[in-house]
Amino acid sequence: MTDGKSLDFNNVDEVFDYAIGKEIEARDFYLEWAGKIDKPAIQKVFTEFAAQEEGHIKLFTSMKEGHAETRPETKAVDLHLTDYLIEAEPTGNMGYREALRVAIQREQAAMDLYNAFAKATKSPEIASTMETLVAEETKHKNRLESIYDDDFYPEN
């Protein structure tokens, strides 16, 4: 499925499987870091985000089941999804600041990914859903950036 530069999908099931996998990664990241961070307010934010990512998993699973019969007549367009992957991989020993930075990068990657999906699909229903998810991920990113700014640049 990958050539090192981009990801190609042969059918809509593969797109949904990929999106579900990314949402599972995001949920697990937020749950893990909610347990590691010693700030109750941030723990709550990360727990809320994990629950929202779980909702995205259910949404994509439901959409996949409803669109399983949809198959492109030719190989799907290369979406260059690696352009949207996060730069920094989380490590078990990173601190709170790094965890916030990774979370912000993840939300930006999700925004970009869902924008690409919305533009690539011919289904108005899928495009609308992706645009809604872009808006949700944008809210997540803005909230995380605000927390980062408040905690690490309080003089602003």
| Residue 24 clears pLDDT 90, i.e. is over it | yes
75: left (phi over 0), alpha (psi -120 to 50) or beta: beta
Q: How confident is the model at residue 28 (pLDDT cuts 50, 70, 90)?
A: very high
Question: What are the structural domains of the chain?
Answer: 12-152 (1.20.1260.10)
Q: How confident is the model at residue 7 (pLDDT cuts 50, 70, 90)?
A: low
| Pick from 10, 16, 14, 25: nearest CA to 86 | 25
C-alpha gyration radius of the chain: 16
Q: What is the pLDDT of residue 124?
A: 83
Q: What is the pLDDT of residue 151?
A: 86
Q: What is the pLDDT of residue 85?
A: 45
Q: What is the pLDDT of residue 6?
A: 52
**Residue type for position 47:** T
Q: What is the pLDDT of residue 4?
A: 39
Q: How confident is the model at residue 14 (pLDDT cuts 50, 70, 90)?
A: confident
Rounded to an integer, the average pLDDT of 92-105 is: 83
Report the distance separating Cα 51 and Cα 30, nearest Å: 9
pLDDT digits (tens, 9 = 90+) for 46-87: 999 999 999 999 988 988 887 544 433 334 444 444 454 456
| Pick from 104, 112, 106, 113: nearest CA to 141 | 104
Q: What is the pTM of this model?
A: 0.73
